[in-house]
A and B are shown apart, each in its own frame.
Chain A
Amino acid sequence: MPSEKTAPPASPATASAGPVQTQSAKKGRGGWWFLLLVIVLYILVWMFNAGFVAASLEHFQRLVVSIAPVLALVFVILWLLNLSQGMQNRLAKLADTRSGLKGWLLAVIGGILSHGPIYAWYPLLQKLENQGARPALLAAFLYARSIKIPFLPLMVHYFGITYTVIVTLYIAVFSVLHGWLVEKIMQDTLPGRQ
């Protein structure tokens, strides 16, 4: 899965599918460059402090062993979500014109189920906005996107199930408040806008 918070596209032209794909291909290589940079950093540090690097590598080994089973679970969930891609798209589209409780629910659930790079969603959200979607629902959708179901097992691994449930519930609930506040600011600053 490509990164969620990514560098912005070079121009507004990303609203089309082509540049998004190009950026995605570049990001695919970006991960390997990142790994190479970290390895270079290790080599540089090793030249000055070999003991520090040895201790860091020991910790790295322990980390890999401890999170490997969790990562397997992460990818099973990711695979299941990829299977339900059509449902996610329908939810995202439904969240545009509906108002009331149903609109909020669809925005939040659509946000939670959506995945992939954030900038890939901007063109769709822009289209929905042009069709009259409430800024509140767009903001709630974007906020709820921060709940990543496939990655929750790793959060449980580090912080426990109670912590994970509490954080996830708060983010889901606050996505509605967040959307409402954003819309309030938009209305206050742009009186003509509904």
Chain B
Amino acid sequence: MTDASLMDPVIKDAFLEIANIGIGKSAASMSQLAGKHVAITIPSIDFVRTGERDSFQLMTGTSSTVIVEQRFHGEVVGTAILCLATSGALKLASMLLGEELHQDAFGEMEQGALLELGNIMIGGLVGNMSNVLHLHIGYDIPEMQLNGTGKVLTLMQKEGACTVVVNSNLAIESTDVSSFLLLVFGEHEFEALLDKIRSVM
């Protein structure tokens, strides 16, 4: 993988477009599901290479994260991860469930709601990517982890790994929560994805 590919603004724009459309669909699903207006915006997209793994913590600004992880395979193989700061995750879950916020109260209902949210967001992003790029992709069942920073860092620091970092803001009523959607690829898988993007441009 060349640094030039990573820095190419056209590639970045293409990813941003894919993410915006996919996440827009996710927001519509979430709105219908929660019976509340859910808006998700994508302010920026970045690419992070193995050597820059510390930047994950710099980006999230916290060492305590809740993650929903889902592997996908087929013509492109990778792992999609929704990362939320623990406090933000609690706030989101409370909003979705229409309950009063209780710190440290990650019960089954909160976890269930966040798992479903993660599944919808990842599905929107990766689903749209497969539609636009005409890729056949299969999915594993998503998993949730309450203290997921270590797992994310381990994935990101694998030799040759390249991560697409989709910075997103979720707004439900008056609650605004930052999150990151990560797409982690191996070096060859990422090259294959870039080739696909170039071929449809």
Do chains A and B stick together as partners?
Answer: no
